[in-house]
Amino acid sequence: MSEVTVDRASQLLMMKQQLSTRGGRDFVWHCLTHTRLFYNTFTADANMHSYNAGKRSHGLWLELELKEASPGDYLKMITENYNG
């Protein structure tokens, strides 16, 4: 089986396409909330804290990728889903 290599421009284009539809933004928002990006990860249980921090770290990475791919659509997603 051959490995398919996707260049950076293609990665960003795929993310931009995902963010360009309401359904895509809803899915990405679900992914971001699952990473606990918007929540405090602290807990007294050291193992659970490490687990939560790892999830959040992935969320921070994904957030940067989304902002680079389509800053306007990223902000639109935040506006559509922010309940604060």
**Is the residue at 9 inside a domain?**
no
**pLDDT, tens digit (0-9, with 9 covering 90-100), for 32-84:** 999 999 999 999 999 999 999 999 999 999 999 999 999 999 999 999 998 75
pTM: 0.85
Residue 12 lies in a domain: no
Domain that holds residue 34: 17-77
Residue 12 has pLDDT above 80, yes or no: yes
Number of domains observed in the structure of the chain: 1
Specify if 71 maps to a domain: yes
Judge whether 22 and 81 are in contact, CB under 8 Å. Answer: no
Residue 47, pLDDT score: 96
What is the per-residue pLDDT for 82?
84
DSSP code string of 1-15: -PPPP--HHHHHHHH
- Region 9-25: what's the mean pLDDT? 96
